[in-house]
Amino acid sequence: MTTTEAPVARELTYVAAVGEAFGQLMREDPNVFICGEDVSLYGSVFGVTRGLLAEFGPERVVDTPISESGIMGLGLGAAATGLRPIVDIMFMDFMTVCMDEIVNQIAKMKYMFGGKAVLPLTIHTMAGAGSSMAAQHSQSLEAWFCHVPGLKVVMPSGPYEAKGLLVAAVRDDNPVMVINTKTLLGMRAEVPEALYEIPLGKANVVRPGTNFTIVAIGRMVSESLKAAETLAADGLDVEVIDPRTLQPFDTETVVASVRKTHRALIAHEAVRFGGIGAEFAAQIQEEAFDHLDAPVGRVGAPFSPVPFSPVLEKEYMPNADRIVSEVRRILGKQA
């Protein structure tokens, strides 16, 4: 059993990487099971649990009623009594239906029982716009959960991260929320066949650079890499950092980068106002204020529900072009 990142060997889609991790984790530990709406016969609405029912049966791949509150309560009780459940909430928007279980019970139980309660619960969900699923099925609400003590929150940026972070989450003895981005599900990347963990709380420098830092999460990592290539034509050497884990956040890696580059921008798909980027920016200015040559920038979605219209939705979603524009604005203002 490996517990560190392993050499890559082949390509998988994001969906396949998640499904492979589920199967391998269930073979490794008979206490792991999956529950949620349509995870059994249908293989989940996004296909991440296809094939698991045939191998593990209905006792470990459990179709539930349409009741997010009940599903989360099932996961809570199972985790507290010795199992290691993976609760699948089809869309992140539906977290609103089970906020009491997540915020007041799951996140608090270990504390309320003086550390004696062990809650190895993984909450697996899909977030983000870009699929014309409208305002109630397209939100990115990660900032809400990063604000709750007792929860760990991860947001993979690709297939490799999706498998490694999921393995770490399921093996962790604390509640971990794994937030996938729907528009990344078809992305392909090299993914080892063996089980491997990506350590929670450790950021990854995806692209080293010397004179500008971009901290990006989820889909915005690939958009930031595109932006970095465009900005290279301006003579700018951009460093791109993927936090991987939003809570706990790897402040040390980000601050070390900013002390080197002296400029920073945070990019996320969620609404800009009150987004997790504001917290990241605050930590940068607290830890590296004297090293900044310009204010920390932020790129996020406008303060609006996600439109259904594909044309409006495309305009709504942050992308590489907006990152480039904001970087150039920061440099122009600084100059």
* Residues carrying an active site annotation: 68, 137
Burial class (CB in 10 A: 0-12, 13-18, 19+), 45: middle
Burial of 263-292, coded b for 16+ CB within 10 Å and e otherwise, reads: bbbbbbbbbbeebbbbbbbebbeebbeebb
Alpha-carbon distance 130 to 124, whole Å? 19
Cα 130 → chain centroid: 16
Strand 32-36 relative to strand 61-63: parallel, antiparallel, unpaired? parallel
- What amino acid occupies position 152? K
Q: Tell me what pLDDT residue 4 has.
A: 60
Alpha-carbon distance 179 to 198, whole Å? 15
Place of tokens 């900032």: 143
Q: Where in the chain is the domain with CATH 3.40.50.920?
A: 204-334
What are the φ and ψ backbone dihedral angles of 30, each rounded to 5 degrees? Answer: -65, -10
Q: Where in the chain is the domain with CATH 3.40.50.970?
A: 11-190
Alpha-carbon distance 230 to 320, whole Å? 9
Alpha-carbon distance 115 to 224, whole Å? 40
Q: Tell me what pLDDT residue 8 has.
A: 47
Cα 189 → chain centroid: 17
Contact (Cβ atoms closer than 8 angstroms) between residue 115 and residue 150: no
Contact (Cβ atoms closer than 8 angstroms) between residue 287 and residue 315: no
**Residues of the chain with confidence (pLDDT) below 50:** 8, 333-335
Residue 164 token pair? 């490694």
Residue 133 token pair? 């699923």
- What does the pLDDT look like over 162-198, one tens digit per residue? 999 999 999 999 999 999 999 999 999 999 999 999 9
Q: What value does the CA radius of gyration of the chain take, rounded to a whole number of Å?
A: 20
Alpha-carbon distance 161 to 18, whole Å? 10
Contact (Cβ atoms closer than 8 angstroms) between residue 152 and residue 172: yes
Q: Tell me what pLDDT residue 332 has.
A: 86
CATH number listed for the domain at residues 204-334 = 3.40.50.920
CA angle 126-127-133, nearest 5°?
100
CATH number listed for the domain at residues 11-190 = 3.40.50.970
Q: Is the pTM of this model over 0.75?
A: yes
- What does the pLDDT look like over 277-332, one tens digit per residue? 999 999 999 999 999 999 999 999 999 999 999 999 999 999 999 999 999 999 98
Q: Tell me what pLDDT residue 334 has.
A: 44
- Of the candidates 263, 272, 218, 207, which has an alpha carbon nearest to the alpha carbon of residue 240? 207
